Amino acid sequence: MQARLDMFKANPAIMQGMLDLSAKIGESGLEHSLLELVKMRASQINGCANCIAMHAADARKHGETEMRLYLLSAWWESSLYTDRERAALAWTDALTKVGETQAPDSVYAQLSAQFTQAEQVALTLAITVINSWNRFAVGFRVQHAV
């Protein structure tokens, strides 16, 4: 596998915009471990190897357990995730596949029960930003470190 182009070299100004937005999400006050789970889950759905490699390493460095990463593809069947994490993961699945799900009331009710409205906005932005990175990385075949 080879990259199709180096997006940071081809258009640094545009990519800086993505980095700026990502930085805002990082400062939103949501738990780092929660954000990493969300990033891993969206990247699983979208099939972004580069993003999975990056966020698996980040999550492990910050103390995430191996098992919680291995079971993330079946999070709804597992007791390893808190109710707050489950609500965030359900919202991640719903928004990542929005063309199919249309972000249903049942999932939104679960989200509302666990997150303040301001947190809901921050979480939603986190989901849309990793969805954007997934599309950049898969689209341009960005290669992960080996």
Residues from 10 through 39 that contact another protein (CB under 8 A):
10-11, 13-15, 17-18, 20-21, 24-25, 28
Residue 55: CB atoms within 10 Å: 24
Would you give the DSSP letter of residue 127? H
- Taking the C-alpha atoms of residue 14 and residue 18, their distance in angstroms, rounded to an integer, is 7
Closest approach, Cβ 25 to another protein, in A, equals 7
Count of C-beta atoms within a 10 Å radius of residue 76: 9
103 secondary structure, DSSP code: -
Gap between the Cα atoms of 145 and 53, Å rounded: 8
Q: How far apart are CA 55 and CA 33, in angstroms?
A: 10
Secondary structure element (H or E) that encloses residue 20, with its range: helix 12-26
Burial tier of 79 (Cβ tally within 10 Å: 0-12, 13-18, 19+): exposed
Residue number, 46 or 114, with CB nearest to another protein: 46
- Considering only residues 53, 78, 128, 144, which one is a binding residue for another protein as defined by CB under 8 A? 128
Q: Which is nearer to another protein, 65 or 101 (CB)?
A: 101
Q: How far is the CB of 16 from another protein (least distance, A)?
A: 8
Minimum distance between the CB of residue 77 and another protein, rounded to whole angstroms?
20
Residue 134 binds to another protein (criterion: CB under 8 A)? yes
CB closer to another protein out of 49 and 80: 49
Which residues contribute to the site for another protein (CB under 8 A)?
A: 4-5, 7, 10-11, 13-15, 17-18, 20-21, 24-25, 28, 45-47, 91, 94-99, 102-103, 108, 117-118, 120-122, 124-125, 127-129, 131-132, 134-136, 138-141
